[in-house]
Amino acid sequence: MKRVQRAATGWAAAAAWAAAGAVLALLACAAADAITSLPALGWIATATYLIVSNALLIAGLLRRGASRFGQANIVTSLRSSVVGAITGLVVASAFAAVPVPLLVALIVPALALDAVDGWVARRTGSASELGARFDMEVDAFLLLVLSAYVAGSMGLWVLAIGAMRYLFVLVGWAVPWMRRQLPYRYWRKVVTAVAGIALALAVSGLLPGVDVVLVGVALLLLLESFGRDVLWLIGRAELRPRVSGAGERGWSRREG
């Protein structure tokens, strides 16, 4: 019973902070007068992302019997809500023009907060495996959404940036040894940050021509990072896998 009560406290906090983040994202859209012009599919995409992502987070909290949400998870939850707003704008852009300044204004804090949650986790001692996984999945989905938007102007090859993580997971479902927990490497966070910045610049349109080069470099860095992990896994394919989730790339702790 006590475990259930502790878990309920944790998921209630998760739901509350997710709602707070959603309200902030809506206020940002309202300030830019984007609400009345955003197609319905944009709102559906935002709502779907928020519902699914927070349901998975709450399920993780319940499964682990977490008694508190943690300060770092609060930051990640707020960032995830911003990613939900970005998702809605990107989906809406396929059907109508969306304000690029608003999109960039949401992308910048979404990227910046990726460093903040790791710092908060270290300073407050609130690092956890679930928090690191939550952080990683928000990163991955943001790259997927941004690459989908940029692919509209640069070409379908950009989608490889966002799809790479999910392809890794799919292969892991089919090949057991691909699910082995990888050793921690800070380089993965660096590559993710570079990819996010490159895509943000491409969205802004501030550096025409140069942004194509930057996005290409980001793709190469991701290929190197994933390729190194795959080679590490191949070298240990005969060993019994120790896994912590399908396709998880060994991010068992949170770093800036």
Q: Which residue has the tokens 């007068």?
A: 33
Residue that finishes a domain, picked among 109, 127, 145: 127
Least confident of 18-32, 70-84, 219-233: 18-32
Output DSSP code: residue 255.
-
Q: Which of 77, 110, 127 is the endpoint of a domain?
A: 127
Give whole-number Cα distances, 205 to 100, 133, 152, 193, in Å: 9, 32, 13, 19
- Specify whether 152 is located in the same domain as 234: yes
Residues 116, 51: one domain?
A: yes
6-47 tens-digit pLDDT? 545 555 666 666 666 666 666 665 555 555 467 778 888 888
Tokens standing for residue 219: 């793709």
What is the spatial distance between Cα 204 and Cα 49, in angstroms, rounded to a whole number? 23
Are residue 255 and residue 157 in the same domain, yes or no? Answer: yes
Mean pLDDT of the 158-181 span: 92
Instruction: Say which residue, 244 or 18, is predicted with more confidence.
Output: 18
- 111 and 138 share a domain? no
Report the pLDDT value the prediction gives residue 247, as an integer from 0 to 100: 46
Most confident by average pLDDT, 94-103, 139-148, 170-179: 139-148
Split at pLDDT 50, 70, 90, the class of 117 is: confident
Region 125-151: mean pLDDT is 88
Nearest 5°: the CA angle 47, 52, 56 is 150
Confidence of residue 253 (pLDDT cuts 50, 70, 90): very low
Mean pLDDT of all residues belonging to the chain:
81
- pLDDT-derived band at 178 (thresholds 50, 70, 90) equals confident
Reported as a pLDDT band with limits 50, 70 and 90, residue 111 is very high
Q: With beta carbons less than 8 A apart as the criterion, state whether 176 and 241 touch.
A: yes
Whether 105 and 90 map to the same domain: the answer is: yes
Tell me the pLDDT band of 240, cut-offs 50, 70 and 90: low
Q: Are residues 27 and 97 in the same domain?
A: yes
* Residues 96 and 206 reside in one and the same domain: no
Domain of 235 in residue numbering reads as 133-256
Q: How far is CA 60 from CA 55, 74, 166, in A?
A: 9, 15, 19
Give the C-alpha separation, 184 to 85, whole Å. Answer: 31
Of 57-61, 78-82, 95-99, 163-167, the least confident: 57-61
Poorest-pLDDT segment among 7-11, 142-146, 192-196: 7-11
Residue 228 CB neighbour total at 10 angstroms: 14
Mean pLDDT of the 156-161 span: 97
Angle at 191 (CA atoms; ends 189, 194), nearest 5 degrees: 110
How many independent structural domains does the chain possess? Answer: 2
Question: Domain boundary at 127, 151, 184, which?
Answer: 127
How far is 129 from 172, CA to CA, in rounded Å?
19
For residues 42 and 81, membership in a common domain is answered with yes
Average pLDDT over residues 235-242: 67
What is the full DSSP assignment across 158-203?
GHHHHHHHHHHHHHHHH-GGGGBPPPP-HHHHHHHHHHHHHHHHHH
Same structural domain for residues 109 and 170?
Answer: no
- The answer to whether residues 122 and 1 belong to one domain is yes
Q: Which two tokens stand for residue 240?
A: 């019994």
Could you identify the residue written with the tokens 């679930």?
Answer: 130
Residues 85 and 191 in one domain: no
Residue type for position 187 = W
Q: Are residues 121 and 4 in the same domain?
A: yes
